[in-house]
Amino acid sequence: MNEWDEEDWKRFEDALRDREPWELAAELELPPPDTTALRELAGRLDQERTAAQQRLEPLLTSLETFERAGVERDPAFRSASAVSVLTSAAMALYEREPAFALAVATAAVNIGASLPEHLLPVPAVLGLARVERGKVLFLIGRYREAEEELRLADETFDLDPFATDWERARGALIRANVYVETLRLDEAVSVARAAALVFRVFGDPSRFLAARLVEGGVLLLQREYRTAADVLEGLAEEARRRDDRLHLARALQTAGNCYIELGEHEQAARRFTEALALWDELGLNVERVRTSWSLGVLDRAMGDLDAAAGRIDGARRSFEALGIVNDAAIARLELAEVLLLAQRPDEVPDLLRNVVVSFTSEGLMQNAKIALAYLREAVEAGAIEARIVRHVRDYLQELPARPESVFLPL
């Protein structure tokens, strides 16, 4: 038990002088309401969930197996329990196998949305499936679709009298991250702060940290590197105290990026190395790839261009294998830039001929194609330079945040 100081005792004794706790205490002594009906419900739900789990488990071994099974069309899976099991499965998959997670979350949403009211008595079950689908869409960079899914999640929660602010805040946390990625920074901070408050009230310290981390990320993007590093170090400390390795790794990763900008390379390397070990421990491959990419950026900042090229190429290949198309494209461009700076231009043309990006908006796709065509022209003309590649990379990176911006050649 924690030791109490004089102030704690004083607060405790003051509270004992308040009439309300004494009145409430008398009421708390009454026997609790009967649990028979709840026990029956719990038993039935357990049975349904176990059955759904048993039927779905063999289909959740790989994306191919899952897609072949066509669970959305199978009447055996038309139940709220199947939606819950698929949502949980997507949560477990999204960091390791985002494409698979998206297929599973999409099936959960489609099944849930097609269920009549009597088969989906708690609409929040569908709301949570939508939140998870929004999360996967965010992770793979499909921000507009992620926002739409989160909007639908809120609409679904509105249908449920017992949906809580906690569930809505889970959607809000992802929305805040979408805002960060699309550079709507003020909105990101405001949404993340509101979500953090809800997580604090609802006793969810892990998501509380995740929401606070958004603020750290925003400070980084606002180039407030020192303040960001201080905030993130504080959050890392809090995560370490709680043995919350996921958010410890996230705080370290973002703090490392701040230290690169501050020119404190040793500090950055230390944070990335610890984050890398944590991702390995947690088995979170996508995050590991991002940290590895950051180490490449650090190598570049330290002037070790060959090491930087090796690491960024590794990240590029991993993103491509994972189907994270836009990050793969950005890594490819950064790799080309580093190779040009390292006086290794021979490898660049092949690299730049095959840059692929993916945006669901036709306008974005059109703008991106114009930028890539400009790049290819420069390659074919033998006039490719690091600054040209950088110009295209910056444009593509900011395109989701500024969809109306037109590409202007250098």
User: Where does this chain bind another protein (CB under 8 A)?
Assistant: 1-2, 4, 12-13, 15-30, 32-33, 35, 37-39, 41-42, 45, 80, 84, 121-122, 124-125, 128, 160-167, 169, 194-195, 197-198, 200-206
- Least separation in angstroms between residue 279's CB and another protein is 21
> Please, what is the minimum distance in Å from the beta carbon of residue 34 to another protein?
9
Residues 6+ apart with CB under 8 A from 342: 305, 306, 308, 309
Which tokens go with 284? 């979170």
CB 286 within 8 Å of CB 322: yes
Query: Considering the complex, what minimum distance in angstroms separates the CB of residue 409 from another protein?
Result: 46
For 351, the 3-state DSSP assignment is: helix
Q: Residue 242 to residues 9, 10, 31, 250: CA-CA distances in angstroms?
A: 26, 28, 36, 14
Q: How far is the CB of 124 from another protein (least distance, A)?
A: 6
The nearest distance, CB 72 to another protein, in angstroms, is: 21
Cβ proximity of 318 and 289 under 8 Å: yes
Three-class DSSP category at 132? helix
Q: Which C-beta is closer to another protein: that of 244 or that of 334?
A: 244
Residue with tokens 């390379």, as numbered in its chain: 265
- Hey, is 90 helix, strand or coil? helix
Least distance from C-beta 71 to another protein, angstroms?
A: 20
In whole angstroms, how close is the CB of 174 to another protein at the nearest point? 16
Report the residue number, 33 or 116, with the smaller CB distance to another protein: 33
Closer residue to another protein, CB minimum distance, 56 or 389 = 56
Taking the least distance from each CB to another protein, the nearer of 187 and 204 is 204
Minimum Å gap between C-beta 335 and another protein is: 39
Which CB, 122 or 277, lies closer to another protein? 122
Q: Which residue, 16 or 381, is less far from another protein as judged by CB?
A: 16
Cβ closer to another protein: 84 or 291? 84
The smaller minimum CB distance to another protein, of residues 166 and 358, is found at 166
Beta carbons of 272 and 298 less than 8 angstroms apart = yes
Which has the closest alpha carbon to 360: 149, 96, 98? 149
Identity of the residue, 41 or 321, whose beta carbon is nearer to another protein in the bound complex? 41
Measured CA distances, 65 to 43, 103, 106, 338 (Å): 31, 11, 15, 40
The structure tokens 């043309």 sit at 349
**Per-residue CA distances from 137 to 71, 94, 141, 364 (Å):** 20, 10, 6, 17
Least distance from C-beta 209 to another protein, angstroms?
12
Lookup result for tokens 């004494």: 22
Contact 323, 96 (CB under 8 A): no
d(CA 52, CA 75): 12
